[in-house]
Structure 1
Amino acid sequence: MIAAAFYGDDFTGSVDALVQFRRAGCTGVLVTSPDGVKGALGGDPDVVGIAGIARSLPADELDAEVRPALELLRDLDVPVVQYKACSTADSSPVVGSLGRVIEIGRDVFGPAAVPVQFAQPDFGRYTFFGHHFARDGEVVYRLDRQPTMAHHPVTPATESDLARHLGAQTAQPVGALHWTAYDGDADAVVRAWRESAAAAVVCDGFADEHLDLIGRAVLTSDAQRFVLGAGGLSLGIGRALGRTGGVPPTSATPAPGPTLVLSGSGSPRTAAQLAAAERTGWSTVHLLVPGAADEAIARHAAGADVVVHTTRPGPSATSREIEERLAQVGAACLARDPRTRLIVCGGDTSGNVLRRLGVDTLSVAALPWDNVALCHAMGGPYDRPVEVVLKGGQMGHEDLFDDVRSGRSRGNDAH
């Protein structure tokens, strides 16, 4: 029987949720559309997830994307369904609105208060008295001062108080539950949720014990079937489930063929990873210069490890054009050499590129780079697993690309 299910608002975040459940000993599978859920149940996983694209959608398009997925997961009659959001609460009233998601979730699952937790300490994400903090490099910043999020091109963080941040996205009230009210007691947390007049309750967290407490409370409650939060919430729920399916290996072998990076990420961290790859001899091609696709395919055919990117300034294009061109390069390279180890960068880019490549399911094969996972992708034209790493803009250490190529393990990645 399925013990938990989730919808992820982008593909890299969806993989993170699956990783956290797997770390807790839960078996699991991730599908790239609701149509794949039925087939995924045949393997009797503990957890099933749907990798979605809601984070990048206008608020008025969320209902069409999110509601059918949540209704499908509700009808599986699982104890808890999580809407997996980014650990920096990326959203606004007009794009990827988590306030609108709360409204949809309560329509689908009932009017109980929705527990919300964005804390993920191993990623450097902490919520203290309702205010959220995020690490960048070695420094922890208040969310609205964190360099990447404060200057995010689509959903810049202007507020660190998560109840205020979410409350600006919905007419429904959003409350907070501070750690001083926890007392290590899941029943006390459940009572606070039940007694709250808010539509959603932001829960503090700055240590693993807080994740575990909220996870136990979620499973103790018979009312809070729908929850919203980051990978820390997935980990807490997974641990509370008490499964013994084992965790993925923390080592990987070198790539069996060339390694190909398809990057639509413009983050400073991805730029640093690109520069590090160049220093170790990778070929780099700016996707939007004339002839770039043919050049990248030719270099890959010659056996080079290639980064195809839009990370540095260059000609402009729409997100859809970038994703289509990246998928064109990826499809051609995989057709020529299916042993290619693929790295796709960018939370929004990843989902749209993998869907265009025909990927149906993802499973976690190994965790050699802390929270950056080596996955096996299946579906469409692929009769054997394709090795895939999905990397959000803020994920991974500087030498990640070369470590993925060589199979070198590395811990303590920041996201």
Structure 2
Amino acid sequence: MELGVIADDFTGASDIANTIAKGGLSTVQFLGLPDRPAPASCQAGVVALKSRSIPAGDAIAQSLQALDWLKEQGCRQVVFKYCSTFDSTPAGNIGQVGEALAERLGVKGVVACPAFPTTGRTIYQGHLFVGDRLLNESGMESHPLNPMTDSDLRRFLRLQTADPVGLVPWSVVRRGGAAIRKALDDAAAQGETLVIVDAVSDDDLYAIGEALDGVPLLTGGSGIALGLARNILKGGTATAGSGSFAPVSGDEMILAGSCSNATRGQVERHAARHPTLRIDVGAVMDGRLGPEDILAFAREHRGKAPLAYSSSTPAEVKAAQERHGREAVAETLDRLFAEAARRLVEGGLRRLVVAGGETSGAVVGALGLRSLAIGPEIDPGVPALSSTEKPLALALKSGNFGAPDFFEKALATLEGA
């Protein structure tokens, strides 16, 4: 294994696995901390953790275990992958995990770049934009678990770190890889462990990738991996590999737990042509709606691309959280979707689409899968996936990703259409 990734959620892991696989490396996504060696054909391994919203100490411990496993597989370069909208809170763990990994590897001047221009995430003067809006004005300020209230990544990340946070501005990035490399070295000399690096286009990410050739550690969104496979292939330590994705036909289901603007639009679009089941949070919390209701709905609408969703507006989410408690709502909905997915797959379901990072983590955990093969890209940042252990194809979508018709496209791609 040449390249390793530690991802803080399951959809983000699929996102960066997709980027690396498109770059030409045979890529496998491992679900949770692996308990066995990677297959010999694996050139890039992505360890998917569910660590984004857990206490920092737990996230650090899991991430360091993942790092040790990746090093045992021979990885010379490791990426700590988090969301391109930097989903966190002032008490979050992105900064603390990044510093812990850097300390274990004995490095400073480590890139922190969540930019993903293809989906509108860009960084300029250390500020993160979503489209033409600052992050904290993009809708992310209403995120039910990790509301983003500040677009200044240096200032925000500094709340989570022991060391000062540096910046490589776009005026340096535009001068290319050598200039970026010198700026990172200077940051390391000044004692800055994590360094925000501006990026407003894919060309910037390729220049950053050139600067990162051979460095032990980098952090960011999936875009930061754009140039990494090219570095490895150019260096001659690996040749272009092929994936082992296996399309699957059969019964299908869509589960949506994300409350993002993008997912709510996709649900509305899908509902115009397909059967949908709205999951009422109050009914779930009161025990009036459970997994058996989702199963009955799926059976009734078999073959019609049925969708069950809890996606709600920010006002509805806030009301439910105030009544039942934020963590209680999140945990109860995760258990609902996880149990429904487990029973659906046990009953013969073969194609499953899940929207939302937390929801995807809960579902995949309940299915007991160990690893996934990376298939064709459905929409930017979202690949088709297939289990390496059973006839099951999946799409795990970050809430903010995907075109309006994502759900239909995903089901078609999973069966090879």
TM over 0.5: yes
Change (3 A) 1:249 1:279: farther
Cα distance in 1 for partners of 2:271, 2:33 equals 39
Counterpart selection for 2:101 from 99, 105, 108? 105
1:126 maps onto 2:126 in alignment? no
2:56 match: 59
Deviating more after overlay: 59-68 vs 17-26: 59-68
Contact 1:23 1:247 in 2 (8 A): no
1:333 maps onto 2:344 in alignment? yes
1:13 maps onto 2:12 in alignment? yes
Cα distance in 1 for partners of 2:310, 2:243 equals 32
Amino acid at match of 1:122: T
1:318 match: 329
Deviating more after overlay: 364-373 vs 112-121: 364-373
Structure 2 spans left out of the alignment, 5+ residues? none
What's the CA shift for 1:231?
0.6
Counterpart selection for 1:283 from 276, 279, 287? 276
Deviating more after overlay: 3-12 vs 165-174: 165-174
Change (3 A) 1:399 1:247: farther
1:245 match: 240
2:180 match: 189
> SS state of the match for residue 396, structure 1?
coil
What's the CA shift for 1:11?
0.5
Change (3 A) 1:258 1:277: farther
Q: How does 1:234-273 map to 2 (within 5 A)?
A: 234-242=225-233, 245=240, 256-273=249-266
Cα distance in 2 for partners of 1:191, 1:182 equals 11
Cα distance in 1 for partners of 2:45, 2:129 equals 29
1:229 maps onto 2:240 in alignment? no
Aligned pairs, number:
390
Counterpart selection for 2:399 from 373, 376, 393? 393
1:87 maps onto 2:84 in alignment? yes
1:145 match: 137
> SS state of the match for residue 191, structure 1?
helix
Cα distance in 1 for partners of 2:121, 2:6 equals 21
Deviating more after overlay: 103-112 vs 185-194: 185-194
Contact 1:249 1:366 in 2 (8 A): no
Cα deviation code 1:352-373 (max 9, x no counterpart): 2201111111121221333322
Cα distance in 2 for partners of 1:46, 1:407 equals 24
2:27 match: 28
What's the CA shift for 1:287?
6.2
Change (3 A) 1:358 1:215: same
Amino acid at match of 1:219: D
1:298 maps onto 2:296 in alignment? yes
Cα distance in 2 for partners of 1:269, 1:249 equals 30
Amino acid at match of 2:137: R
Cα deviation code 1:168-189 (max 9, x no counterpart): 2112110001122246442332
Contact 2:384 2:414 in 1 (8 A): no
TM-score (norm 2): 0.86
2:203 match: 209
Contact 2:244 2:373 in 1 (8 A): no
> SS state of the match for residue 34, structure 2?
helix
Cα distance in 1 for partners of 2:50, 2:144 equals 17
Change (3 A) 1:129 1:32: same
What's the CA shift for 1:61?
2.6
The share of aligned pairs that are identical, in percent, is 26
What's the CA shift for 1:210?
1.4
Amino acid at match of 2:294: A
Contact 1:286 1:292 in 2 (8 A): no
Cα deviation code 1:303-353 (max 9, x no counterpart): 2532222213597553222222212211222122243x1011111221122
Cα distance in 1 for partners of 2:289, 2:86 equals 38
What's the CA shift for 1:143?
1.5
1:169 match: 160
What's the CA shift for 1:9?
0.6
Change (3 A) 1:209 1:281: closer
Change (3 A) 1:157 1:247: farther
Contact 1:216 1:240 in 2 (8 A): yes
Change (3 A) 1:12 1:165: same
Contact 1:327 1:356 in 2 (8 A): yes
Amino acid at match of 2:128: H
Cα distance in 1 for partners of 2:242, 2:201 equals 21
Cα distance in 1 for partners of 2:173, 2:397 equals 34
Contact 2:170 2:198 in 1 (8 A): yes
Change (3 A) 1:225 1:141: same
What's the CA shift for 1:121?
1.2
Cα distance in 2 for partners of 1:65, 1:408 equals 31
Amino acid at match of 1:352: A
Cα distance in 1 for partners of 2:266, 2:43 equals 35
2:362 match: 352
